[in-house]
A and B are shown apart, each in its own frame.
Chain A
Amino acid sequence: SQQGEEDPQALSIQEGENATMNCSYKTSINNLQWYRQNSGRGLVHLILIRSNEREKHSGRLRVTLDTSKKSSSLLITASRAADTASYFCATDGDTDKLIFGTGTRLQVFP
Chain B
Amino acid sequence: DAGVIQSPRHEVTEMGQEVTLRCKPISGHNSLFWYRQTMMRGLELLIYFNNNVPIDDSGMPEDRFSAKMPNASFSTLKIQPSEPRDSAVYFCASRRSIGETQYFGPGTRLLVL
Contacts and interface: CB of A to CB of B under 8 A. Distances in A.
B107 A42 contact: yes
B45 A99 contact: yes
A98 B50 CA distance: 14
B101 interface: yes
Interface residues of B, number: 21
A88 B106 contact: no
A53 B34 CA distance: 29
Nearest to B50: A96
A25 interface: no
B45 A97 contact: yes
A97 B33 contact: yes
Nearest to A44: B104
The listed residue with most A CB atoms (<10 A of its CB), out of B31, B104, B105, is B104
A12 B100 CA distance: 31
A95 to B, nearest CB: 7
B103 interface: yes
A2 B59 CA distance: 12
B91 A95 contact: no
Contacts of B99: 30-31, 50, 92, 96
A45 B102 contact: yes
Contacts of A31: 99
A33 B91 CA distance: 17
Interface in A24-44: 30-31, 33, 35, 41-44
A98 B45 contact: yes
26 contacts: A30-B99, A31-B99, A33-B101, A33-B102, A35-B104, A41-B106, A41-B107, A42-B91, A42-B105, A43-B43, A45-B103, A45-B104, A48-B100, A50-B99, A92-B99, A95-B56, A96-B98, A97-B33, A97-B45, A97-B56, A98-B102, A99-B45, A100-B43, A102-B42, A103-B42, A103-B43
Interface of A: 2, 30-31, 33, 35, 41-45, 48, 50, 88, 90, 92, 95-100, 102-103
